[in-house]
Structure formats: structure tokens, C-alpha cells
Structure 1
């Protein structure tokens, strides 16, 4: 899998020098520099990443309904936690669309909660923070928004929210060979980046798969997200009492590492075009892999993070009132064409095949909150459609 020449020149030169000085680097290090280099990384350098003019869509960029539904769950969590203040931390908030929709919903639907809400954004890129400040200006002026580095967050009582964050953590890329498990490294030769299969850079990779009871068939590739393990352990340490809500695309481990998934799940996105080659468009494309939700739960439980809900996004959103909200919005729309477009747009959030409804999952964990019956767990049979 050699690279193409459409790379960010400064980042390409940086990577070439690292490889020349130290030899081929593990893919996880290559991915980390491509996405998070402090000057030229994809998520750090100024760039339109989300929406029609960017490289991909997220659930929050599809429609404000996503944020309004999440607010319903957050309302219940705030009530369960009690206290004078309610702190909500969102890590990797992109341009701030989800934060805006949640804050708008709070201001419009629950002024009392809005006045005691502290929305904390944890962001790595100055460009993203600048866009967030512009988008959230009204709520910033109202004193409801602030920014904090992840390392600065500690002893949190509240909710930790992420939407499409874990999929962008750098991953180890491995392949099962006849001689055993090998790790993909990135080398430079003949004017481009190339793969090399070398011994594992850390025994933690094999330990991770062994703990899941996974042995890949010869020839199969897979991703191992050790960063997600560290992240979950750090979250558990930072959260004194409250909830962790993780929304992302992924699977339970048995499905993620299925023998049928021979090439793993690594994907790249550039101007709404997908590819499986992370060695091209270096610095200009997003690189992602599907999340192992089994490991997130297994890591959290011994540290006090108990799973309260896990399921596909369509089930999560329907429990929070997706169908009722769709019908209410349609009833307000007098133009039949606009009503139809609204329906088609919102279907992207729940459709299992062509939309985000099945591949995206929601995991809610709680610490020190018991086992509450969360709104998102509402049975479909309990949904009562509004009279319109």
C-alpha cells in the first residue's frame, strides 16, 4: 500500500525525517502525527472538516433533532444527580454543532437547568476552538460555556459526553501471519510511504486480543485501540459521580473481529470520498477505525463505570422520543416538499442500512448513581404517538 503524492509537504517532511532517524514507525505513531501533529495534523490545522464543504458528516451535523433528543437524556441525568450545578463535558466537539443544539434546547425548554448548566468543551485544536467560540457566542456571553484541557478536568460530578471521538484515536494495525501476529509499520522509500510487517511494538497488543478470546485467521488484519483503554481508565479516575455517554460507530468485540472482516475497519475520508489507504493525502484526510465497545465496558466496570445502556443509535434515539419529535416537526411544516425533505433527512439518523442507525452505537455508563431506568431504555412498545 504505497502512498500517493498529495501529502501536506511539511508533515511529509517531518515524517520522513523521523523514519530516517529511527527506522520504520509503527502505524499507530504515523496515524497520531497525521491527525494530531501540533502544527500540521488533520484535527489541528485550519480546515473545514464537517458538513458539505468538509470531508464527512456527523449525527449532530445532520439535524438539530439529534442534540435536542440528547438533551432529554441529559435533563434526566441532571435530575438524578441533583445539586446546584450541572456540569457537562464534551471532548472532541468539532465545530460545536452538538453543543449548540444542546444549549439551545436547554435555553428554550428548561431555563432553570440552563442557568445552572456548565458546558465544558475539551478541544485539542485552536482552529476548532475558534469555530466553537463563534458558533456558541450567545451561550458564551451568558456564561454557560468554557474550555478546559482534558488533563485539567478532575473530580467531575456530572456527565462526560463524546460523539465520534474514540474512532479517531490512533490505533495499532496488525496482521496475522503464518509466523504469528505482526504489526504494520510505515517506511519511506522510492519517494513514497510504504508498509512493512514487523514484530509487535508492545506486548499489550497481543494481551488485548487474548483478553477478548480473539485469534485472527491467517491473512486477516485488525486494529487494536490501546488509546481507548487508557482513555476509559482516565475517565473513570476523573469522574467522581455521574455518567459517561459515548456515541460512535463500532461493534461488540466478537463482531468487530469477525473472521469475515478480513481487512479490519480502517477508513479514510477526504472531501466525502472514502478510501482504505491511510498513506495518501497525508495531513489532508481523516483516518478512523470502528470502536470496540466490549473493551470500553470491560475496562470501565472494575473502575466503577457500570453499563446502563448499550445499543444501536436508532434504538437510543427512539427511546428518547425520535418518532414523536419527527411527527411534531412534520405537523408544523406546511409545505409538503419541505416536510418530505425533513423526513428523509432525519431518517439518516436511524436507518440501519443506508443511514447511521445501526452502525452507530450508544454506550451509557454510570458511576455512583445506582441503576436508574434511563429514558433511552424506553421500550418501543411504550412509545405513544402524539395526536397531530
Structure 2
């Protein structure tokens, strides 16, 4: 008996006991059931041998550019600077940030405390092994154990893995997807949406169009409340794929954004091999900003990833890396790799967004706000790949 069928048995037992469960409960089990969920078992998830790529797995430059923005943020805060990262995967972004700080901004490196919030025992072990050279700067804690701090709360591809309720609008009524068992199979059943789901959309002033599906990450507001309560002064830096609400719930998005990933193959069927595939949904950035304002987190910056990276020196850093390349072929391969981070038209550079919120920091002119026109045209010359 393998672990995946054991998880399936657990899900079926709960479905029978409760005569159906909301989709977000099903997704919670698939991803986070202790010892059985996708993120809770030892497995390779990120990279060529895993199920998907992240920006930090493309190249260390991603972390270096974020470190540059963090360095400026730290200048605005006196005393110790705490960087909290939640959902750090295998720890590659943390390693790249700490390496960059140690090399280029040693004073900040000596000031910084890097706190990792990680619920996956497997990921914690991988992070500890990878970050061994920075052990004096790194520590781990649970979400509820995080003490009040001044600094920055960082997440990269965290919120897309929050369990979501799935709804569909029919004849003007908001219906919710429940998972039920039928002829020994898990299938969907539409029921009137729960009050908390209706309230989620009411806060936005938006609902999916008639005949369309959409997702609601019900846990995001509670999560942001916890972050805002612990952040005394500083920033919340959120990087993920998603859209503002008006685009997320647009009529052309008839099937919503729910997708599954296994071995770099996308699927829209979350009911096959529970626990063996990642399940994600695009982030509602309007909700983050709306709830943030309510909680004292002021929106300072919201942009597509390619503009964020370009403003922080992507082109200049690329040219420097090219100069260090051994030959023209290696330089060309480097350019092709790094272009993945800024590709528009549905690529990482366009689909991924960056949101920076601030608390008790005023309205600083952030480095990432540098306009594209400020980048020297000479810097882009000679790109033949």
C-alpha cells in the first residue's frame, strides 16, 4: 500500500462522514495532510527533476536583485533587521539573498536575522542543509511563534498554494463546489455557497460572471492579519502569479485559474493522484491590498515582475555576468536562461506580480520604482540571443 492511496482513503472517509466536503478542505488534505500531503512528504518538487520551476530556481540573480531592494529597506529602519520568509521551498532564495548580502552588503549581513517559517519537515531539512554556511544568521519558527519584529516579511510563491473554495455562478446564484463520492469515485457537486464565501466576494464588490468559475482563498485575510500584527515597522514583499480582482474574475476566465502540476505537466483535474501533484490558483492581489489597508499596511508598489527586476538592475547585472562568462556560447546560454525571469506575454515576467506594502515607513522612493527609461540604452546592446 503506497502513501497516495492511504491519503485517498482518508479523504474518502471524511467525504462519507460529512456527506461531502468543500473543495478548499479537499485541497488542504491533498497538499498539507500530515505525512501524506504533497508538501508534507519527502520528494523533489522544484527544478528539472521536480514538478515545477520557481524564479529562484532559474538563477541566483533573482535573489541578488531582491537583496538589493532589501538593503535599501534596511536603511530606513534603525537597529536589527529581521527578514522573515514563509514557504521558502528548499531554501534557494534564502541562500542567494544571504550570499549577496555577505558579499556586497556585509554591514547589513551582520545586522540581519533570517527567520524561516516552514510547516514541511522535508523542506526544513533541505533548508538546514543548504543554509549551513549561514547558520549564525538563520533560524526557524512556526507561524504562531513569530515574535514582533522590524524588517521585511517575504514570500515567493506562497499564496498560490493556499487552499481555495471554488465557486460557479448559475442563474445569478453563487454556487460552491463540494467533493462527494459517487460510484466509488470522487466527483463534484454544486451547492449554495457558504456565508463566508459569499462575504469574500462581497468585500471585493465583484463576483464571477454568469456561467463562470472562480476561486476564493479564504485563508489569505487571516494570514495577512497575522503578518500585520507582528510587523512593528517595515515591509511586506509578496511575489506570486496572479491578477487584480477585475482581471481575475473577468468573464473570459470561464474556468477560473485552478491548475495542477506534476513533472512539469499541467492539468485541470485535481482529483487524480491526490498528494502526488501540486494544486494552485492565481493570487487575488486586489484582496491583499484591500485587506492590507484595513490592517495598516500601505500599498507602496505593485507591478509585474519584469519591471521590478529591470528597475533593480537586471540588465546591468546580466552584462556583468556575461563579462565573467568563459566564452560566447556560455554568455548566450546565460542570456537565454535569465530571459525566463522577464518574459512578457504570459511568461514569468508578466504573470508574476510584486506587491510591496509598508507599515510605519512613510512613502519612501523604492529602488524598484526606477523607471525603465532610466536604464542606459547602451546596456542593452550586443544581445544576440
Q: Could you tell me whether the CA contact under 8 Å between 2:261 and 2:267 is conserved in 1?
A: yes
2:46 is equivalent to residue 50 of structure 1: yes
Deviations 1:183-222 (A, max 9, x none): 001112222211111122x312122222322232222100
Residue of 230, 249, 267 corresponding to 2:241: 249
2:159 is equivalent to residue 163 of structure 1: no
Cα RMSD after superposing both structures = 1.5
Q: Could you tell me whether the CA contact under 8 Å between 2:51 and 2:263 is conserved in 1?
A: yes
Q: 1:117 offset after TM fit, Å? A: 1.2
Q: Could you tell me whether the CA contact under 8 Å between 2:3 and 2:36 is conserved in 1?
A: no
Q: 1:231 offset after TM fit, Å? A: 1.1
Counterpart Cα distance in 2 of 1:289 and 1:154:
30
Q: Could you tell me whether the CA contact under 8 Å between 1:186 and 1:196 is conserved in 2?
A: yes
Q: Could you tell me whether the CA contact under 8 Å between 1:328 and 1:386 is conserved in 2?
A: no
Q: 1:230 offset after TM fit, Å? A: 1.3
Q: 1:65 offset after TM fit, Å? A: 0.3
Counterpart Cα distance in 2 of 1:37 and 1:294:
29
Counterpart Cα distance in 2 of 1:224 and 1:215:
10
2:370 is equivalent to residue 378 of structure 1: yes
**Aligned match of 1:277:** 269
Q: Could you tell me whether the CA contact under 8 Å between 1:347 and 1:355 is conserved in 2?
A: no
Q: How many residues are aligned here?
A: 379
**Aligned match of 1:108:** 103
**Aligned match of 1:3:** none
Counterpart Cα distance in 2 of 1:281 and 1:366:
41
TM-score relative to the length of structure 2? 0.96
Say which SS state the counterpart of residue 242 (structure 1) adopts.
strand
Deviations 1:86-124 (A, max 9, x none): 110000000000000001101111111111211110000
Q: Could you tell me whether the CA contact under 8 Å between 2:172 and 2:210 is conserved in 1?
A: no
2:148 is equivalent to residue 152 of structure 1: no
Q: Cα–Cα, structure 1 residues 7 and 276, in superposed 2: closer, same or farther, change >3 Å?
A: farther
**Aligned match of 2:192:** 199
Residue of 176, 182, 199 corresponding to 2:175: 182
2:32 is equivalent to residue 32 of structure 1: no
**Aligned match of 1:263:** 255
**Aligned match of 1:215:** 207
Which has the higher mean CA deviation after the structures are superposed, 88-97 or 202-211?
202-211
Which has the higher mean CA deviation after the structures are superposed, 183-192 or 260-269?
183-192
Deviations 1:4-58 (A, max 9, x none): xx98111001011111111110000000010011110111111110001110000
**Aligned match of 1:363:** 355
Q: Could you tell me whether the CA contact under 8 Å between 2:58 and 2:337 is conserved in 1?
A: yes
Say which SS state the counterpart of residue 126 (structure 2) adopts.
helix
**Aligned match of 1:237:** 229
Residue of 119, 127, 144 corresponding to 2:114: 119
Residue of 192, 208, 218 corresponding to 1:226: 218
Q: Could you tell me whether the CA contact under 8 Å between 1:348 and 1:354 is conserved in 2?
A: no
Q: Could you tell me whether the CA contact under 8 Å between 2:315 and 2:380 is conserved in 1?
A: no
Q: Extract unaligned runs of 5+ from structure 1.
A: 1-5
TM-score relative to the length of structure 1? 0.95
2:71 is equivalent to residue 78 of structure 1: no
Q: Could you tell me whether the CA contact under 8 Å between 1:7 and 1:284 is conserved in 2?
A: no
Counterpart Cα distance in 1 of 2:140 and 2:106:
22
Deviations 1:134-159 (A, max 9, x none): 1111111xx11100101111311110
Deviations 1:223-282 (A, max 9, x none): 011111111122111111110000000000000000000000000000100001111120
Q: Which has the higher contact order (CA 8 A, sep 6+)?
A: 1
Q: Extract unaligned runs of 5+ from structure 2.
A: none
Residue of 4, 15, 19 corresponding to 1:19: 15
Say which SS state the counterpart of residue 233 (structure 2) adopts.
strand
